[in-house]
Amino acid sequence: MASHSPASTAARPAPQSDIPTYEAIVVGGGISGMYLTYRLRELGVNFHVFEAGSDVGGTWYWCRYPGARFDSESWTYGYFFDEELLQEWEWKEHFSPQPDTLEYLNHVADKYDFRRDMTFNAKVVAAEFDDAANQWTVTFEDGGQARATLLITGLGVLSAPTLPNIPGLEDFQGQSFHTARWPHEPVSFEGKRVGIIGTGATAIQAIPEIAKTAGHLSVFQRHPNWSAPLHNAKITPEEQKDIKARYKEIYARCWETVACFIHHPDPRSALEVTPEEREAFWEKLYSEPGFGIWLGNFRDVLTDERANALMTEFAARKIRERVDDPVVAEKLIPKNHGFGLRRLPLESGYFEAYNRPNVRLVDLNEAPIERITAKGVKTTAEEHELDILIYATGFDGVTGPYDRIDIRGPGGRSLKEEWKELPTTLYGVINDGFPNLLMVLGPHTARGNIPRNIEMLVDFNIGLIRHMRENGYTRIEPRPEAAAEWLAQVKEVDALLLSSKIPSWQTGVNQNVPGRQTPRVLGYNGGAVRYRKTIEKVAAGGYKEFKFG
């Protein structure tokens, strides 16, 4: 891990005198860490970024599985901080595939020479605050350490992948991969017997791609998810010109919608229009690209059970139309949650994949998995022999990336313990009892089109750091009463959405992680516009909700 650590593998080495020390340490070289690099440099902060991977890119570095791509319109996803960058980069498709996105992020890292402030293969395993020294010490997996007054996390919300809690994972003799730890070398499915466990957003993207070449594909499904067509297409030269000419307008649009996409709810209620109008609107949305059917739907589809039930019926009908075998179609229709009440995966030929002779849906409700064996997957009914086994089993969402680092505030206070039941942050950027620990995309921030949220949160954090530097402060904490008030607001808006009670990574549920079986309030569901107004008001008011010293 370069010069920042010795080769030692000791768990907790004795303090070293030559520990590199900075004003700020950033953990993570993904979209957050890269934008932080740009802004911290601009502010003249002495900082360094530590990244677990061997290069930049975060999610797009790790999730290289076949079919991985944006569900966001590409031209709303990139960085907007430099007009030159916007004009020179050409997105090839309306919904960019992972290789192109990683190429884009590498282009950005090269253009601004970000890597000179970054160390790779540096996985942070612990961070401890020394109250007297007012300083964080981070420890890397290989035992090396670094120190800084400020610790800034750019960990993302989906960076802690989880394997299924099924016995025998080590026994399998073929190739096996978690989709978020996909090899850098190409994986060939040609003629192979492939199995995939999971039917979330990742599997919904991967299955149609793998099915194209696999000899046979077995999909092991516990619960199906709702999904709607992505309708991706290449960007034509005329569209490219138009996009580049309209970047200002596109950007402004992202900032007036509920989740920073171009889509915004229709003001009508699904219940007040005629059945014909409703049907025509849903057919239109189903035939259009992107998240319109989820975020641009009637205003009450995600908040009113009757409206949601009607939309659910429509989406179920579409599955029945697209899947040839009616028994398989029924199995692909979710029964445990309504349409859009989990983060909606968008698909390209997902349902049609089940019409192929080489694809079999294995319903784990009929015969659960007993164990993984040397040869494949053994359910209570049979043993499925496989050459390749893919775990599309998701992530310990939102708090998982933090739980995997032993973060200790003054007096050894553990952040993991603190967040066991529910995080209690101020605006999702800082937690009481953990001074000088600033977060980008922490719990209780607005989410949606992630780079837009990151931009807003990095800019807010940079504002805080600028305020500290201008006033000679070296310590920042939330005012406990302000954090309590924020939590009350977070809970209040959460209750308005039907999704708040549905188990998913967004509500912090992961059946493979002990203690994560029931939904928690982990995001701010009042929308990006309200969130942004809140933090802008805080900044304009001189950050009175924070304590400085």
Residue ranges binding ligand NA7 (CB under 6 A): 158, 164-166, 197-203, 222-223, 343, 364, 392-395, 505, 511-512
| DSSP three-state, residue 17 | coil
Minimum separation from the CB atom of position 157 to ligand NA7 (A): 8
DSSP state of 93: B
Minimum separation from the CB atom of position 161 to ligand NA7 (A): 8
| DSSP three-state, residue 535 | helix
| Cα–Cα–Cα angle for 223, 228, 357, rounded to 5 degrees | 65
For ligand NA7, the nearest residue by Cβ is 200
Report which of 142, 107, 126 is spatially closest to residue 34, judged by C-alpha positions. 107
* Phi and psi at residue 401, to the nearest 5°: -60, -30
Per-residue DSSP letters for 138-191? EEETTS-EEEEEEEEE---SS--B-----TTGGG--SEEEEGGG--SS----BT
| DSSP three-state, residue 176 | strand
Tokens (6 digits) for 485: 């008030």
If you compute the radius of gyration of the chain from its CA atoms, what whole number of angstroms results?
A: 24
Query: From the centroid of its chain, how far is CA 470?
Result: 34
Minimum separation from the CB atom of position 259 to ligand NA7 (A): 12
Minimum separation from the CB atom of position 13 to ligand NA7 (A): 35
Q: Residue 291 or residue 505: which is nearer to ligand NA7 going by CB?
A: 505
Q: Three-state SS string across 481-516, please?
A: HHHHHHHHHHHHHHCCCHHHHCCCHHHCCCCCCCCC
- Would you say how long the chain is, in residues? 549
Q: Residue 25 or residue 513: which is nearer to ligand NA7 going by CB?
A: 513
Q: Residue 395 or residue 531: which is nearer to ligand NA7 going by CB?
A: 395
Q: How many CB atoms lie within 10 A of CB 281?
A: 19
Q: Three-state SS string across 330-354, please?
A: HHCCCCCCCCCCCCCCEECCHHHHC
Packing angle, helices 31-43 and 450-471, rounded to 10: 30
265 touches 258 (CB < 8 A): yes
Minimum separation from the CB atom of position 369 to ligand NA7 (A): 6
Q: Residue 343 or residue 384: which is nearer to ligand NA7 going by CB?
A: 343
Report which of 214, 516, 512, 519 is spatially closest to residue 391, judged by C-alpha positions. 512
Q: Residue 45 or residue 157: which is nearer to ligand NA7 going by CB?
A: 157
Minimum separation from the CB atom of position 166 to ligand NA7 (A): 5
Minimum separation from the CB atom of position 97 to ligand NA7 (A): 14
Q: Residue 262 or residue 362: which is nearer to ligand NA7 going by CB?
A: 362
Minimum separation from the CB atom of position 477 to ligand NA7 (A): 32
Q: Residue 409 or residue 443: which is nearer to ligand NA7 going by CB?
A: 443
Q: Residue 376 or residue 463: which is nearer to ligand NA7 going by CB?
A: 376
Minimum separation from the CB atom of position 73 to ligand NA7 (A): 15
Q: Residue 408 or residue 447: which is nearer to ligand NA7 going by CB?
A: 447
Q: Residue 369 or residue 439: which is nearer to ligand NA7 going by CB?
A: 369
Minimum separation from the CB atom of position 280 to ligand NA7 (A): 29
25 touches 151 (CB < 8 A): yes
